[in-house]
Structure 1
Amino acid sequence: MDQRTDRYVTFKNIDCDGRTRLVMARIEDYVATSDNPFWGYFRQQRELAHGRGLDDLRVLHNYLPTLREILEEIDDQETLEMLEDLERTCM
């Protein structure tokens, strides 16, 4: 029997907010310290999204391909795996 959670049926017992906070905390380190221009753009877009009432899960979802590419480029496998898990489980 398949024990995976069907995210389209329920998010019950899935801490999507907590997982999102963990991923975003790791990404915030790059926003604060990297000279890659994407991170400044990402910060601005996050602020705009929050102003529109969107949460960080939505922000991450909007930039998945770019985030994946950058995390692969800088070889941050741990954050990449966390992001992919978040995508599979909560998006």
Structure 2
Amino acid sequence: MASQAADRGDRYVSFLGLDCDAKADAMMAMLSDAMRTSSSQWVGYFEQKLAENHKMGRDNLYFVGSQVNALSAFFEEEGDEEALSLLSELEDKCC
């Protein structure tokens, strides 16, 4: 079992080398781009949550980690496989 954790990169030991902040920033850029062109009801939800996140002074990684399910539903609705892949990687390795 310990070797499985080592193969995946045990996120509880260290985030070093995973570049989680940069990946979260990329995820947020994808979200911003998608929100500009989408008519989904998720857009209003994310506008509210982004404003709350900013007001609380939380970083992008915190936002992604707390919104994984909503982000997944939105990007599935949008058919954005690249964003879903990045989100999966963030969830697995960084959150």
Shorter-chain TM-score category?
0.7 to 0.9
Match of 2:94 in 1: 90
After superposition, the C-alpha distances for 1:60-90 in whole angstroms (9 at most, x for unaligned) are 2222112212222222111101000011111
- Would you say the 8 A contact 1:24–1:56 is kept in 2? yes
- The aligned counterpart of 2:14 is 10
Q: Counterpart of 2:25?
A: 21
When the two structures are superposed, what TM-score results if normalisation uses the length of structure 2?
0.83
Cα RMSD over matched residues?
Answer: 1.5
Q: State the number of aligned residues.
A: 91
The percentage of counterpart residues that share the same residue type is 35
Write the distance in 1 (CA, Å) between the matches of 2:25 and 2:54. Answer: 14
The alignment's TM-score, normalised by the length of structure 1, stands at: 0.86
Q: How far has the Cα of 1:18 moved from its partner?
A: 0.5
Alignment CA distance shift 1:73-1:38 (3 Å): closer
Match of 1:36 among 26, 36, 40: 40
Structure 1 segment 61-80 matched on structure 2, within 5 A: 61-80=65-84
Identify which range, 14-23 or 28-37, moves more after superposition.
28-37
Cα deviation code 1:37-70 (max 9, x no counterpart): 2212212211211211211112122221122122
Provide structure 2 residue ranges, at least 5 long, that are not aligned to the other structure.
Answer: none
Post-superposition offset of 1:29:
0.8
Query: Any conservation in 1 of the 2:42–2:74 contact (CA below 8 Å)?
Result: no
State the AA in 2 paired with 1:16. C
Amino acid aligned to 1:61 = G
Please state whether the residue corresponding to 1:3 is helix, strand or coil: helix
Gaps of 5+ in 1: none
Runs of 4+ in 1 over 2 A off after TM superposition: 1-4
Structure 1 residues 76-85 or 31-40, which shifts more?
31-40
